[in-house]
């Protein structure tokens, strides 16, 4: 298997959805829908859900999310699932996005990898390191 790194842009729309639980003692728990459109070597759309916790401390929060990406990766059709794990500690952020094992379908069966997200001048970019 060869490892490749591709980059491109994406747009994202988040919308609150009703959650099961509410935060207490200064914690704000949230649930959001995720809709993305990827362009570039990854030409796809995704839908998913995010759970978040905002603390009373400015810049400290955490979130987890799952999104299914459906479309074309360098000419190969299929889908895969990305799992997110993000934390912010007083503004210092850490974000892990991994392909869920065995989530690839059709021509993307066997896909593994991880994605990094960059936001520069208000534009969202992805850097996707993958093997297929």
Which two structure tokens, joined as six digits, stand for 53? 């916790």
How distant, in Å, are the alpha carbons of 30, 54, 65, 105 from that of 73?
A: 31, 34, 21, 12
pTM of the predicted protein model: 0.92
Summarised one tens digit per residue, pLDDT across range 29-59 is 999 999 999 999 999 999 999 999 999 999 9
- Compute the distance between CA of residue 2 and CA of residue 81 in angstroms, rounded to an integer: 20
Separation of alpha carbons 85 and 72, rounded Å: 24
**How does pLDDT run across 71-115, given as a tens digit for each residue?**
999 999 999 999 999 999 998 889 999 999 999 999 999 999 999
């Amino acid at each position: 298997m060869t490892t490749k790194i591709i980059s491109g842009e994406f747009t994202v729309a988040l919308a609150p959805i009703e959650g099961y639980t509410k935060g207490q003692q200064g914690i704000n728990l949230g649930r959001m829908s995720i809709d993305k459109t990827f362009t570039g070597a990854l030409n796809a759309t995704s839908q998913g859900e995010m759970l978040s916790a905002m603390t009373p401390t400015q810049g400290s929060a955490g979130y987890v999310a799952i999104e299914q990406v459906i479309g074309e990766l360098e000419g190969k059709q299929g889908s895969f699932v990305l799992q997110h794990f993000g934390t912010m500690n007083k503004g210092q952020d850490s974000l892990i996005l991994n392909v869920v094992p065995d989530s690839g379908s059709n021509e993307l069966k066997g896909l593994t990898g991880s994605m990094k997200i960059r936001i520069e001048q208000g534009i969202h970019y992805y850097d996707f390191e993958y093997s297929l």
